[in-house]
Amino acid sequence: MALEIERKYLGVDFDELRRALAEAGAEDLGAHFEANVVMDTPDLSLWTSRRLLRVRSQEWPGRTRHVLTLKLPVANSAKGFKAREERELEVESAEVMQGVLAALGFTESARYEKVRSVWRLAAQEGGALLVELDELPFCRVVEVEGSPEAVDAVAGRLGLDKHEISTKSYHALHQEWRSAQGLPPERSFVFGPEERRRLRRQLGLPDGAGACS
């Protein structure tokens, strides 16, 4: 198990951030396509108790990784940061894992997709951190994962300190966006077929895989 500590930044120009990361000596770990399936009990007991059970597929050209993740709330977290206990297990097949969970009484409660570009940066304080540039169907978000000291130490260097901070989940941000657009609540957020194909082609991936339909 591990403690995941992160902070989101909204409204960031990805091109500017990439330049700042390169100038800071960050390592570009590449981009991948993500398809996520959230599993829950029929009465959404995991969701209401702030627990997350997820099957994630990550695709790079020539390689796919499937991960089962359980996230649990923690009693305390630093102000301005989101912290959760995270337990992960790499699995051979996302489809088979979903079938196992379904046989145990869990059902699919949501699907979501994103393109994630990952950079690793060594901070002067608090150790290394990950800077993740996420393109979602409804917005772009930067997620910085590491110790609070490390995140605070690099926020100014990367120009992130001038942007809005959020500790909300992507599901909460999605609901806020839908409300602002006058749309009804919807737990899932996936790319449309044409947009999905375009993004996958940019990543060098085949058109047919990765869809959450």
Domain span at 185: 2-202
Q: Supply φ then ψ for residue 170, to 5 degrees.
A: -65, -30
Task: Please report whether residue 210 resides in a domain.
Answer: no
Domain count, the chain: 1
Residue 80: half-sphere exposure toward Cβ, Cα within 13 Å: 12
Secondary structure percentages of the chain, helix, strand, coil, to 5: 25, 40, 35
Question: Which amino acid appears at position 73 of this protein?
Answer: P
To 5 degrees, how large is the angle CA 181–CA 174–CA 168?
Answer: 130
Task: Please report whether residue 22 resides in a domain.
Answer: yes
Q: What is the pLDDT of residues 140-194, one digit of tens each?
A: 999 999 999 999 989 999 999 999 999 999 999 999 999 999 999 999 999 999 9
Task: Please report whether residue 212 resides in a domain.
Answer: no
Task: Please report whether residue 187 resides in a domain.
Answer: yes
Q: What is the pLDDT of residues 56-109, one digit of tens each?
A: 999 999 999 999 999 999 987 788 999 999 999 999 999 999 999 999 999 999
Nearest to 10 by CA among 178, 180, 162, 176: 162
For 69, the token pair is 């993740």
Task: Please report whether residue 213 resides in a domain.
Answer: no
- Predicted confidence at residue 195, as pLDDT, reads 98
Task: Please report whether residue 207 resides in a domain.
Answer: no
Task: Please report whether residue 209 resides in a domain.
Answer: no
Task: Please report whether residue 158 resides in a domain.
Answer: yes
Q: CATH no. for residue 42? A: 2.40.320.10
Tokens 């999905």: give the residue.
196
Q: Are 8 and 81 in contact (CB under 8 A)?
A: no
Sign, Cα dihedral of 191, 195, 197, 202: negative
Nearest to 212 by CA among 194, 188, 177: 188
Q: What is the pTM of this model?
A: 0.93
